[in-house]
């Protein structure tokens, strides 16, 4: 019986409910909560996507690279923990793909002395970073201008050595171009580390990465060390 009463009550309530339409309903206390997450709140996280360029020289002869074409794509996430209005610490992680396009000249020894029409080393890394952030100027919940500096470590997820040759006349098979990709090179270090700097604002940041460790391990110790410095620009994607 109690069940029926409840049902009837519910039906009556529903009938009454239909006789009105709530056009607007505001809960003031919900509207005035202080957020913990935001560009200048205690916590902030945002994505980065950018492009960098190799900006230093190969250390030693035989491994010159082509500037402009030797570049890096970076994609990652950055987390910031605010400790003071002007100082934060943070973590970052993401992936990079770095292309080293090799000059083809008689001095070349990286990774061998053979000359090709085009040749490159491609390194894919997962990276993690810890950084300090100095922020400038008075601002609201807004990233403002900042300088990050810290350390990064990277793990080699993959690497390939690619070269391409064009054939005139064509090869007996009829091919005019051959492209060869070598993987599993054992002369590369799996782990690397370096220092990072980032200077930017709400939407863009200039970044620099300087690798302190060597790309090549003992098996590649005779190779000239690849350029250590990459400078680039990344955009900041939607933040939390």
Partner 1 sequence: MRKHYYILLALLLSTAVSAQDRYWVFFTDKDGVQFDPYTFFDGKAIERRIKHGLPLDDVSDYPLNTSYVQTVTNGVIIITGQSRWFNAVACEATEAQVAWLETLPFVRAVRGISGVQSQLAVADSVEQVSSKWTLLLAQTKRLGGDLFRAQDIDGKGVRIAIFDGGFPAVDLADEFKHLRDENRIVKTWDFVKEKEFVYAYNTHGTSVLSCMAGIHKGVPMGLATGAEYLLARVEKGSVRPLEENWVEAIEWADQHGVDIINSSMGYTTRNYFIEEMDGKTSLVARATNRAVRKGILFVNAAGNLGDGGWKIMITPADADSVLTVGGINPWTGFHNTFSSYGPTWDKRMKPNVCAFGDVVIRSKKGTSFAEGTSFASPMVAGFAACVLQHDSTLKAMELFKTIEQAADLYPYFDYAHGYGVPHARNVLNVRQAADTTFDLITKSGERYIKIRDNAFCTDSVTNWQEYVEQDGWENIHEVEKVGRGLLENLMIEEKVHQKMPCHLFYHIENSKGYLDKYFVVKVNSKEVLILSEVELEKGSTLRVHYNGFTNTYHF
Q: By CB under 8 A, name the binding residues for partner 1.
A: 13, 16-29, 31-32, 34-35, 40, 55-57, 59, 136-142, 145, 147, 149, 195, 197, 199, 206, 208, 210, 228-229, 231
Nearer to partner 1, 126 or 199 (CB): 199
Smallest gap from residue 32 Cβ to partner 1 (A): 7
Smallest gap from residue 88 Cβ to partner 1 (A): 15
Where helices occur in 45-188 by DSSP H, the ranges are: none
Nearer to partner 1, 139 or 164 (CB): 139
Smallest gap from residue 165 Cβ to partner 1 (A): 33
* Contacts of the segment 212-220: beta carbons below 8 A, 24+ positions apart: 213/189, 214/189, 215/123, 215/188, 215/189, 216/187, 216/188, 216/189, 217/186, 217/187, 217/188, 217/189, 219/186, 219/187, 220/111, 220/187, 220/188
Nearer to partner 1, 108 or 228 (CB): 228
Smallest gap from residue 144 Cβ to partner 1 (A): 8
d(CA 7, CA 145): 61
Residue with tokens 């690279």: 65
């Amino acid at each position: 019986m109690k069940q029926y009463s409840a049902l009837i009550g519910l039906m009556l309530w529903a009938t009454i409910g239909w006789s009105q339409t709530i056009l607007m309903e505001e809960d003031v206390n919900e509207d005035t909560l202080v957020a913990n997450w935001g560009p200048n709140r205690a916590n902030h996280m945002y994505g980065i996507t950018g492009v960098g360029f190799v900006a230093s020289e190969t250390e030693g002869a035989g491994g010159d690279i082509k500037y402009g074409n030797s570049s890096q794509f970076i994609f990652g996430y950055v987390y910031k923990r605010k400790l003071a209005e002007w100082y934060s610490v943070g973590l970052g992680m993401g992936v990079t793909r770095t292309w080293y396009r090799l000059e083809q000249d008689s001095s070349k020894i990286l990774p061998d002395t053979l000359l090709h029409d085009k040749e490159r080393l491609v390194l894919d890394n997962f990276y993690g970073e810890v950084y300090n952030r100095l922020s400038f100027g008075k601002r609201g919940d807004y990233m403002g201008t900042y300088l990050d500096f810290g350390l990064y470590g990277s793990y080699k997820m993959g690497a390939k050595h690619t070269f391409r040759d064009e054939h005139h006349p064509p090869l007996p098979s009829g091919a005019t171009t051959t492209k060869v990709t070598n993987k599993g090179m054992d002369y590369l270090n799996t782990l690397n580390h370096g220092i990072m700097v980032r200077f930017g604002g709400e939407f863009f940041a200039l970044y620099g990465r300087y690798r302190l460790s060597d790309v090549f391990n003992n098996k590649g110790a005779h190779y000239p060390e690849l350029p250590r410095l990459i400078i680039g620009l990344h955009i900041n994607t939607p933040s939390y």
